[in-house]
């Protein structure tokens, strides 16, 4: 959706919004898939409610993009503008056992920042690509750690009230790759409470997780991590592997030959290639195991 030529764009600029016309979202996602639209960078948190009201009044559909590492975006001209928080120099500070971090910060960067200040617990999250905000929204987890366990407060733009609010960790539900945040809520900042641990010990834990990840996941290829959630008590990756589907393709979308629950963009995959592959694999798993796999990746398609 293009709004850069509309009078609205001047009003947005006055609210501290930076407008980038015609951005290709394939450059903003780890899958390298996604069509084009205008991008609005929200430089001032305090004006976000006003920006949202303006977009609603003008009936401009919008979606919020974080690190772009767990999303599959449609091809072609997109029917929404994309909102984004500025990623340069996001705020991070530590006070005792509390870490205060901007949602736009890189998740791994945050783990390292805290580790250097002798705050641990999040070693398992080190190799999970993406932003802190995205990790919060999805309750990202790996190797027995979930970010939700450490959350004490989240500052967010709450779509239901149209205001910026601070929510206590106890009032948020963090489940497996799911939280009680509404899809339109925008994460802004988080306060985490982390256990004290010597940097050297944290580093040793980080190394172990990095090794495991390197040994089992296709880290140098374009992917969105795991495509499906694991069904209760089961493993999507193992089932897909047992079906002999590693290397199985639809156009340039391919089941990784390293980890069967990672689907990679092996060239110029389109969103439709990827969706065809997802449906095909889901159908084969259903036929063989009688189980309906649920997407872990978030789909942006009208
Ligand atoms: N397996 C296979 N073949 C494969 C892949 C896995 O047989 O191609 C087997 C493994 O040998 C293992 C079991 O399946 O016995 C589980 O595999 P793995 O340990 O790789 O973990 P996973 O359940 O596939 C989950 C998360 C990952 C996270 C890892 C490590 C989900 C959907 N995936 O994967 O998270 O990195 O555990 O903790 O929960 C993500 O969220 O995008 C993601 C990649």
Query: Per residue in 179-227, pLDDT tens?
Result: 999 999 999 999 999 999 999 999 999 999 999 999 999 999 999 999 9
Q: Is any atom of ligand 1 closer than 6 Å to the C-beta of 237? A: yes
Ligand 1 atom 28, closest CA: 142
pLDDT band (50, 70, 90) for residue 1: very high
For the CA of 296, the nearest atom of ligand 1: 32
Ligand 1 atom 12, closest CA: 238
What integer is the mean pLDDT of 232-237? 96
Backbone φ, ψ for residue 171 (5° rounding): -95, 5
State how far the Cα of 187 lies from the Cα of 93, in Å rounded to an integer: 17
Residue-level pLDDT at 92: 97
Q: Is any atom of ligand 1 closer than 6 Å to the C-beta of 45? A: no
To test the ligand 1 pocket, which listed residue (31, 70, 135, 142) has its Cβ within 8 A of the most ligand atoms? 142
**What pTM was computed for the model?**
0.96
Q: What is the chain's alpha carbon radius of gyration, rounded to the nearest angstrom?
A: 20
For the CA of 143, the nearest atom of ligand 1: 38
The predicted-structure confidence for 205-214, as pLDDT tens digits, reads as follows: 999 999 999 9
Ligand 1 atom 20, closest CA: 216
Quick count: other Cβ atoms within 10 Å of Cβ 296?
19
Q: Which helix (H) or strand (E) holds 84?
A: strand 81-84
What integer is the mean pLDDT of 71-87? 96
Quick count: other Cβ atoms within 10 Å of Cβ 302?
7
Report the separation in Å between the CA atom of 278 and the middle of ligand 1, taken as the mean of its atom positions: 17
What's the gap between Cα 251 and its chain centre? 25
What integer is the mean pLDDT of 93-116? 98
Beta 71-73 vs 298-300: how paired, if at all? parallel
The predicted-structure confidence for 8-59, as pLDDT tens digits, reads as follows: 999 999 999 999 999 999 999 999 999 999 999 999 999 999 999 999 999 9
Sequence-separated (6 or more) residues with CB below 8 Å from residue 244: none
What does the angle CA 37 – CA 40 – CA 43 come to, to the nearest 5 degrees? 165
């Amino acid at each position: 959706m293009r709004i850069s030529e509309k009078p609205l764009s001047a009003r947005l600029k006055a609210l501290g919004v930076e407008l980038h016309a015609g951005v290709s979202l394939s450059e903003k996602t780890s899958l390298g898939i996604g069509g084009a639209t205008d991008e609005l960078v929200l430089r001032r948190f305090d004006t976000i409610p006003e920006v949202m009201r303006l977009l609603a009044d003008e009936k401009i559909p919008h979606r919020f993009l974080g690190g772009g590492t767990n999303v599959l975006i449609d091809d072609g001209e997109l029917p929404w503008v994309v909102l984004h928080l500025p990623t340069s120099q996001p705020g991070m500070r530590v006070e005792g056992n509390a870490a205060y971090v901007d949602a736009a910060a890189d998740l791994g960067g945050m783990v390292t920042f805290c580790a250097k200040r002798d705050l641990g617990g999040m070693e398992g999250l080190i190799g999970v690509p993406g932003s802190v905000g995205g990790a919060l929204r999805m309750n990202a987890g790996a190797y027995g750690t979930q970010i939700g366990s450490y959350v004490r407060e989240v500052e967010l733009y709450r779509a239901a009230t149209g205001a910026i609010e601070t929510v206590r960790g106890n009032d948020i539900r963090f489940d497996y790759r799911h939280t009680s945040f509404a899809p339109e809520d925008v994460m802004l900042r988080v306060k985490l409470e982390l256990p004290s641990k010597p940097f050297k010990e944290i580093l040793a834990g980080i190394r172990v997780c990095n090794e495991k990840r390197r040994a089992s996941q296709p880290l140098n290829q374009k992917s969105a991590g795991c495509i499906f959630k694991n069904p209760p008590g089961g493993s999507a990756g193992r089932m897909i592997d047992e079906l002999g589907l590693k290397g199985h393709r639809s156009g340039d979308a391919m089941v990784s030959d390293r980890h069967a629950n990672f689907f990679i963009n092996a060239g110029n995959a389109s969103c439709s290639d990827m969706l065809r592959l997802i449906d095909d694999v889901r159908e084969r798993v259903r036929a063989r195991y009688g189980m309906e796999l649920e997407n872990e990746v978030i789909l942006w398609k009208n």
